[in-house]
């Protein structure tokens, strides 16, 4: 705000005056000291005058600082209120229909972000993944007796964590994922492959005259094919740290979950759809809409344009994903009178989510409930103290492999904002 800037300039000017008065006092004192005498009457009068001037300046500085601090507090409160309105809670509908696996006839789990994949039985509710990982590192199973009984040996030196505990990690990944917080749903893939029907072209209602026939219409279906692809992460920890640190195991669980969530978010936005980068992200999605050459974010106009594009295909955007710097730019937009600008009512209900995994040149707007992460239930979590260099280095290694796929029910529900500049 201009007033804050003006007050800062006034404070700096007063500080400069204070320094000048103090320099004059030192000059008078240095001269008398050098001549080994007391102040004469003129020097004493001038010295006292400068001393009083400093006292007056200090009072003025304090008053200016108080006024500045109050304005800064008002500005920050206003900014917090704006940010609060920019980030309403994302509400996703519960599943209102059943999905059936055509090959088996079994129900398919389709989970909204707030729903859990992990559904332990009464006997399994006390199982804890972090406790199990720590026990495997230290060899002390006293506190992980239940977990130990459910673990299975995989090969000569590895142990596989049971589904009920690995699903805890999947749910933690889902909590940390920006895409899933935006509304992307999770689809369980029991067999690694799943085919889902989607409408390619719908029906149109019509009126008819008495005795006239209705026009027969064909409803065209397409299919989404989910084929599990493998992605993994490995982390090592010294067995001493695992034993001595109270939070080591939970730290590993959090780190594993964050690493997987970050990669899933990157793939969801930037995935190339190639052999080396198999997931197809929104930025290369053939059916996604786009707004090119956005330029500087001087207003919310690009997001209103994205809303309009979505509404033209009967979609209602629920979120947008943007870089932290660009979200900060939007939050700091001001009118000519220095007031912070709130998002227009058309898009005020669209939740902004930021991630440093997206560049400053792009943003993605859409109805994220129309995207699905397919995941095979039960991440493969393996641990070893013997394979590789783990035995020699007295370490424990944890390997997690995620098998899943990404699909979009309606690609044109997503709009890319491209060419954003500073």
Backbone phi and psi for residue 99, each to the nearest 5 degrees, phi listed first: -105, 135
State the pTM of this model: 0.70
What's the pLDDT tens digit per position in 265-309?
A: 999 999 999 989 999 999 999 999 999 999 999 999 999 999 999
Sign, Cα dihedral of 282, 415, 371, 261: positive
Domain ranges of the chain: 2-86, 99-421
Residues 305, 301: Cα–Cα separation, whole Å: 6
CA atoms in the 13 A half-sphere facing the CB of 147: 22
Q: Which long-range contacts (CB under 8 A, 24 or more apart) does 39-46 make?
A: none
CB 190 within 8 A of CB 333: no
Indicate if the pLDDT at residue 240 is higher than 80.
no
How many other CB atoms sit within 10 Å of the CB of residue 40? Answer: 11
Please, what CATH class does the domain formed by 99-421 belong to? alpha beta
- Residues linked to residue 382 through DSSP beta bridges, in sequence order: 160, 399
Reduced to 3 states, what is the DSSP secondary structure of residue 345? coil
pLDDT at position 338: 84
CB 195 within 8 A of CB 108: no
Map residue 195 onto helix, strand or coil: strand
Output 102 or 97, whichever has higher pLDDT: 102
Sign of CA dihedral 107, 110, 111, 117: positive
* Residues 6 or more apart in contact with residue 76 via CB below 8 angstroms: none
Phi and psi at 89, nearest 5°, equal -65, 135
């Amino acid at each position: 705000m201009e007033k804050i800037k003006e007050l800062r300039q006034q404070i700096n000017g007063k500080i400069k005056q204070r320094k000048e008065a103090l320099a004059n006092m030192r000059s008078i004192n240095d001269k008398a000291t050098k001549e080994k005498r007391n102040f004469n009457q003129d020097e004493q009068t001038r010295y006292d005058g400068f001393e009083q001037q400093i006292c007056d300046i200090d009072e003025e500085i304090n008053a200016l600082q108080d006024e500045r601090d109050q304005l800064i507090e008002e500005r920050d409160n206003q900014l917090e209120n704006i940010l609060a309105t920019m980030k309403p809670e994302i509400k996703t509908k519960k599943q209102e229909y059943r999905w059936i696996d055509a090959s088996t006839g079994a129900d398919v789990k389709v989970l909204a972000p707030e729903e859990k994949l992990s559904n332990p039985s009464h006997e399994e509710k006390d199982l804890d993944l972090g406790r199990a990982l720590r026990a495997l590192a230290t060899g002390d199973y006293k506190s992980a007796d239940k977990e130990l009984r459910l673990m299975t040996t995989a090969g000569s030196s590895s142990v596989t964590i049971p589904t009920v505990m690995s699903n805890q990690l999947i749910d933690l990944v889902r909590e940390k994922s920006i895409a899933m917080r935006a509304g992307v749903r999770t689809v369980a893939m029991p067999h690694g492959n799943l085919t889902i029907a989607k409408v390619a072209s719908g029906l149109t209602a019509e009126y008819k005259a008495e005795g006239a026939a209705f026009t027969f219409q064909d409803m065209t279906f397409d299919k989404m094919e989910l084929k599990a692809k493998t992605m993994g992460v490995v982390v090592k920890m010294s067995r001493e740290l695992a034993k001595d640190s109270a939070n080591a195991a939970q730290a590993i669980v959090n780190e594993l979950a964050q690493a997987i969530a970050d990669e899933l978010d990157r793939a969801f936005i930037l995935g190339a759809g190639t052999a080396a980068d198999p997931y197809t992200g929104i930025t290369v999605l053939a059916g996604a809409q786009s707004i090119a050459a956005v330029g500087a974010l001087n207003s919310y106009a690009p997001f209103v344009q994205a809303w309009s594009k979505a509404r033209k295909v009967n979609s209602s955007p629920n979120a947008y994903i943007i870089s932290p710097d660009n979200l900060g730019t939007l939050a700091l937009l001001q009118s000519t009178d220095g007031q912070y600008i709130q998002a227009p009512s058309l898009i005020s209900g669209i939740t902004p989510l930021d991630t440093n995994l997206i560049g400053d040149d792009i943003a993605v707007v859409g109805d994220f409930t129309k995207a699905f992460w397919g995941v095979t239930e039960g991440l493969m979590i393996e641990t070893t103290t013997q394979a590789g260099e783990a035995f020699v280095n007295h370490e424990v290694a944890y390997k997690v492999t995620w098998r899943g796929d990404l699909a979009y029910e309606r690609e044109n529900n997503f709009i890319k904002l491209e060419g954003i500049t500073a």
